[in-house]
Structure 1
């Protein structure tokens, strides 16, 4: 009960699994409940590398944010952020650049409620409840406009989220709308479940989630590369997540065959 009192708003239903808390469980975090762990265990049964993939995605996010901070970016829009707990964007960026500003966006009420509680007292970070498929809701939210200056470059982060967008919602078109709102010199950081790496296991994960409120739609390398239209992809390109500028060679060992996530960073020209 004490744990709940510290980080769970009273009106959040802890009897239903939350994608944000399942992701936290896969990362080894403490912001999850038995119902979230049960769904996480189903995903691990379908894809034994699920926990490692989540950790590889989070490590990629860290490297990409630091890359952009070192390039002068001081404001980030993190869409599909989940719960902004340990190792998330404000923590990474503000440790290096205390003046960095971060807006998190998630459509899940629970993730937003948790996030607002956890970010209380941080004037440089805020959480918006909005659907990434409704760009105007995201871009025109009061918190977004208060913290972000769209006349200056922004780091747009879409990690581990676009595979929840079905083809009929036109993910390429959605990204174009966000791109048009960004100043030249802005960045897109993207990671996505791959359909063409370990396809049998990926299909099993998609099947496990097909009847949930958040089914996944894995995409091929070419489809994911196409999401960067209008951005200049920087080296090493769109690659398995551990191969994107690894800090140690050992971190990338075997990644091309075993990592089911493609990741990349592109610059708005």
Structure 2
């Protein structure tokens, strides 16, 4: 069997939002803005830049409005996460045109996250999505616990496909399908994403991997083989999830870019400039950044591709 890979892959950078949201120490607003600017100059054109959540629950995102205002000239697609109607109103008032909504396939995870069952979330979201589409807003649906849940264990593939179908029929432009706790294996990724690509050929399908068990690059390779050409990544491997015990950061953007470039797959991203962006945020986060490419950069032995 001949394996074919896409010639070009789109990286959706989630570091400024998903990567920083769990940092306990507040990252200064100007540092976040510089991070976004540096990522843009490295060639990243799609980013999740912030989240319009309650500052009481996520203090790190209390400067969402300032981030949006200061970053409007950076990246072609600036996405902000919105948890509810209030967040949507704030985002639109600030001039946002690309919004991300989210729901967990797992009821238990969803209830711990936003105190609603998956069904309750969908019943609330679907009418909102229709209104947003009527306003010309780009809508991205983030599907958490698509493979495993820290509370319910393995998630059946059919549940994921059915939930994605609801979103697609509701009018979303993109599905970001996440291995929230980093337990998926390449076979599971190939199978699920093959089914999703076949079922929803006119919807953007993006794979979102956490690197908890160092399986993310293997899972990306399997997803490429399934036809996926969009991946959520986080510069420096920043990230985690407060409702998924033990989950570490997202797969590091620089490691994904290096692998893709070595495979002859274009990303449009300049790896040295991307590592400069990682360097700029490293001193403002609590945990050390340990992606392979950044570690090699610090050692002075990185082989740029």
- TM-score (norm. length: structure 1): 0.40
Normalised by the length of structure 2, the TM-score is 0.36
Higher relative contact order (Cα pairs below 8 Å, separated by 6+ residues): 2
